[in-house]
Amino acid sequence: MKNNPKEETPSVKDIRIFRSRIIRWFNKNSRTYPWRETRDPFKVLIAEIMLRRTKADQVEQVYERLFTEYPDVEAMANAEDRKLEQILYPLGLKWRTPAFGLVAREVREKYKCKIPETREELTTLTGVGEYVAGAVLSIAYDKKEWIVDSNILRLFRRYFGIKTSKDGRRDKHVIEIAKIYASERNPRKANLAILDFTALVCTPRKPDCEKCPLRKRCHYALLCS
C-alpha cells in the first residue's frame, strides 16, 4: 500500500485484507446488544434511530423498555407522543422523540407495517438517512449494503490514507470503499465488526495502535511509527 494520501479508491485487494482482519478481530471481541440479537427489521430500525448521537450503552435500557411497551409497528404507531417522550427522555435530544411515532405510522400507512427492503424506500421515512438505511438492510436483512458514519470515515482516512472533504461521508471514493467492503459474503457481520472496531480500537483520541491488527498496513500507524 502506498503511503501518500490520495483521493481515490484503494484496490479491492487492499479492502479485502482490511475487511478480513477486522472480522477476525470481531470474532473474539464483538459487543453484545439486544438489537443485535434480533432480525426484526422494525426493532433494528428503531434502534438505529436511537443510536444517532448516542452511545450504545445509554440506549440499551431505553431500548428494552420501549419494546416492552410497544413491541411492533402497530403498537408504536398508536403510541401517545407524551408516553414516548417519557421513555426516551434518558437519551436526551428531545427533538428526536416525535420521529419514533411518525416513522411507525409511515411504515404502517405506506408499507402495511412491513419495513422496506430497499435503500430508496427506507430513506423516504422520517429519521432515516443513508447510514440508517444501510444498517437496517445489512443487519436485519443481511443485504450487501454499505454504511459510513463519522467513525468509519475516520478509520478509512487513517488506514487507507485517503483525502476527503470536510464531512467526507458523502464523498464518492469513501462510499465506494464502503460498498466494496460490504460486497463480500456475510455483510451483517462485516458491518457490525467495523462499528465495534471503531468504537473500541480506532477511537477518535488515543487509538490503540499497539494492539491493532491493522497496524502493519495502516497509513496512520506507519506515519506515527
What residues are annotated to the active site? 48, 131, 149
Dihedral sign for Cα 207, 59, 41, 53, please: negative
Q: In sequence order, which ranges of 78-162 are alpha helices (DSSP H)?
A: 81-88, 97-111, 119-122, 130-139, 150-160
**224 CB neighbour count, 10 Å cutoff:** 11
Angle between helices 172-182 and 12-29 (to 10 degrees): 60
Handedness of CA 65, 68, 73, 79 (dihedral sign): negative
Q: Is 5 in contact with 219 (CB distance < 8 Å)?
A: yes
